[in-house]
Amino acid sequence: MGHNDIMNTAEDFADQRRPALISLLNRSLRSLTICESRIVLSFLRVTKQYLPHVARLCLISTFLEDGIRMWFQWSEQRDYIDGTWNCGYFLASIFVFLNLFGQLSGCILVLSRNFVQYACFGLFGIIALQTIAYSILWDLKFLMRNLALGGGLLLLLAESRSEGKSMFAGVPTMRESSPKQYMQLGGRVLLVLMFMTLLHFDMNFFSILQNIVGTALIILVAIGFKTKLAALTLVIWLFGINIYFNAFWTVPAYKPMHDFLKYDFFQTMSVIGGLLLVVALGPGGVSMDEKKKEW
């Protein structure tokens, strides 16, 4: 038997087996989808009344903590800004006041469900102000975490738009909902930046496994495939990492490391809040999960 005969025989065999392989693949994907749906639906059934509230509280926790810290460390923050920018006590005090008032008032509005869109825009402004004032723009790790925090606010903004549209149930609003879908896409993509700051390039088994699993999950969230299950898994994983690595309560309050760990802890909690919003709301229209419905 010549080489061409072998190739022809192999192609004929593949053609005969292809329908069976496609059918097996479809059944496997369908089983995986059913399993995922059961896990997520079970979780949402138990937590649907509380999940959005917990998500919003987690999301604004870093702003709440930072606003309270501005009150108790007013003079230290004022002196730091004055020393860094040489702007004088008056302008430095204005900066501290804007941070204190802007963050606490924004948190109150978000938790009370009043003027949420204005609160989100105000908190976006606080992020931008702090990025410049504390020179975060030149620190890639902190910049990525601030961008991830902005992603959480985008998801909160998308949720508030969803509530606004629900007043007119039954009325077609496809064009009006498009900005919301792109907000959800932007929020998902920005959220994954937090996990890029957690990657460790050590050669031990645990670090390699953590990097592989974490990277796979953040890609799934970013492209919107199996989004709710991937986001829920990331919530559990990130919460465990946060408790283990950012345990600021184990460090005396007078040590500088206490404030650093506290800052990281609440920023991570805010990203967890954003992921919980993804679990509660879904990935939105610009995602593979949504496109699967059209296939």
State the pLDDT at residue 37. 58
CA–CA dist 278, 36 (Å, integer): 15
Question: What's the chain's average pLDDT?
Answer: 80
* Average pLDDT of the segment spanning 8-20: 51
Say if CB 158 and CB 127 are below 8 A apart: no
With 60 as the cut, is the pLDDT of residue 4 above it? no
Confidence category of residue 9, pLDDT binned at 50, 70, 90:
low
Tokens found for residue 290: 């949504």
Q: How far is CA 158 from CA 128, 209, 220, 278, in A?
A: 20, 34, 20, 10
CA–CA dist 274, 55 (Å, integer): 7
Does residue 4 lie within any of the structural domains?
no
Does residue 68 lie within any of the structural domains?
yes
Closest residue by Cα to residue 270 from 133, 155, 114, 108: 155
CA–CA dist 91, 97 (Å, integer): 10
Name the packing angle between helices 140-165 and 51-72 (round to 10°): 130
Does residue 10 lie within any of the structural domains?
no
- Neighbouring C-beta atoms of residue 116, cutoff 10 Å: 21
User: What digits encode the pLDDT tens for the residues 219-232?
Assistant: 888 888 888 888 98
Tokens found for residue 142: 């902190």
Does residue 217 lie within any of the structural domains?
yes
CA–CA dist 73, 60 (Å, integer): 20
With 70 as the cut, is the pLDDT of residue 26 above it? no
Does residue 80 lie within any of the structural domains?
yes
The domain total for the chain is 1
Helix H segments across the chain? 3-47, 51-72, 74-85, 88-112, 116-133, 140-165, 174-191, 193-196, 205-223, 227-245, 256-281, 288-292
With 70 as the cut, is the pLDDT of residue 18 above it? no
Provide the domain limits for residue 245: 52-163+178-285
Does residue 67 lie within any of the structural domains?
yes
State the pLDDT at residue 284. 81
Model pTM score:
0.78
State the pLDDT at residue 10. 45
* Average pLDDT of the segment spanning 81-108: 94
User: What digits encode the pLDDT tens for the residues 193-223?
Assistant: 877 777 666 677 777 877 788 888 888 888 8
Does residue 34 lie within any of the structural domains?
no
Does residue 226 lie within any of the structural domains?
yes
